[in-house]
Amino acid sequence: MNQWHKALVRHDGKVAVMDRPTRKPEGYELTVRPVYAGLCGTDIQMLRGLRDDPTSILGHEGIALVAEAGNDVPATLAPGTLVCINPTHRSDPAFLLGHNVEGLLQENVLIPATAVRDGLIIPLSTAHHSATATLLEPLAAVHYAFELLSDFNPDTLVVFGDGVIGHLAVRAAADRMGAGIRIQHLHHTEQGLAWSRYYEAGAAQCALNNSAGAALLSSLSADTRVAVLIATPRNATLACLETALRYIRGEVRISLLGGLPEDASTPLLPDLLLNPIRAANCGGKPMPGVVHTHKTKSAKTVQLVGQRGVANRHLRSAADELMKHPERYHSLITHTLSLERAAEVMTHLASSTERQFDGRRLIKLAVQFSTETP
């Protein structure tokens, strides 16, 4: 007898709750029941058709309970175990959760053998049973970025982007980059800037990424060592990179964490393709990370780093940080909704650039599947 579960399925620019068949796991496969799953900026780009990732069910952030395990699955992943899933397999491009493999925005998810066998399913303490756990994977990406920036020993951090990654970076910077670091946070919209000023995070200087942002960057002295984190959608990353190259006078290392168009380049870095730089560090390897040094059109030396995915160590350090400092991050979970209400939000986001819903700016949407406590 067939079993079914509900899923958020995207089709023709809309998202609807639909029934999907529930498959029994075999061998190294397992199935999980999401408890909370997050909607991220990349998911929104996919909803808007800005990316061509094939899966109809999104979601790579969140926590889940193991529902059923195949015969070869280790006992540490027994049914009932609370887990998170590393969504990017470093050596198997066929597994990219929520991109080319059906994601977490459904009541039951089959996790393929390649992810289970190669250790991408991470058991968690029951203390992580919270909507804040939807920040675990994006915070892990921030930890990875800071790992690639920190040995540059910067005294200033510039963050481009007012989505989840940008807000997480501003909140995590002092612990990861040093308590004395100066933070400048450049925003995409007036609404984003207003939100940041209301939910103030430390001593970050906030400005719009326009002439005000350019003036803020220009105010940094030529002997300043600047780390730049570009946490933007792929249609905005190049412009932010060019802003940093034009206006920062000091020594600079730039993290290309944001997406990039295919064959991305800029005349400010002649004869340089940027996507290979972004892909040079993947899943926490190599160690130490690859740093690229180049000359700009004006002969200034800059360092560039990039990353894809995260390592399990980044997920574990993010989980520890969320447990230790929940008050630092809880304001970023602006909407916690059921599947049905989440479908409304996702359909709205697919056709609009507006990030308001229910009268509030949407930073992180957490979809709640169950109130069950493991």
Q: Divide the 374 residues of the chain into consecutive groups of 10 and give the mean pLDDT of each group.
A: 89 93 96 96 89 93 97 97 96 96 98 98 91 96 98 97 95 94 95 91 90 96 97 92 97 95 94 95 96 96 97 97 94 96 94 85 92 54
Say how many C-beta atoms besides its own lie within 10 A of residue 219's C-beta: 12
pLDDT at 197: 92
Provide CATH code, domain 137-306: 3.40.50.720
What does the alpha-carbon distance between residue 243 and residue 252 come to, in Å, rounded to a whole number?
A: 13
Q: Which residues of 73-83 are buried (b: 16+ CB within 10 A; e: fewer)?
A: beeebeeebbb
Say how many C-beta atoms besides its own lie within 10 A of residue 164's C-beta: 28
Strand runs (DSSP E) across the chain, as ranges?
4-11, 14-21, 30-39, 61-69, 82-85, 109-111, 121-123, 156-160, 182-187, 205-208, 225-230, 251-256, 292-295, 301-306, 333-337, 356-357, 360-361, 364-368
- The structural domains of the chain, with segments of one domain joined by +, span 4-124+338-368, 137-306
Q: What is the DSSP letter of 196?
A: H
**Cα dist from 216 to 211, 221, 226, 233, 298, whole Å:** 9, 11, 13, 22, 21
What does the alpha-carbon distance between residue 97 and residue 113 come to, in Å, rounded to a whole number?
A: 13
Q: Regarding beta strands 61-69 and 30-39, do their DSSP bridges make them parallel or antiparallel, or are they unpaired?
A: antiparallel
CATH number for 4-124+338-368 (one of 3.40.1390.10, 3.30.70.520, 3.90.180.10, 3.90.226.10): it is: 3.90.180.10
What does the alpha-carbon distance between residue 327 and residue 169 come to, in Å, rounded to a whole number?
A: 15
pLDDT at 235: 87
pLDDT at 200: 81
Rounded to a whole number, what is the distance in angstroms from the first to the last CA of the chain?
28
Asked whether this chain's domains 4-124+338-368 and 137-306 adopt the same fold, the reply is no
SS3 for 124?
coil
Q: What is the DSSP letter of 210?
A: T
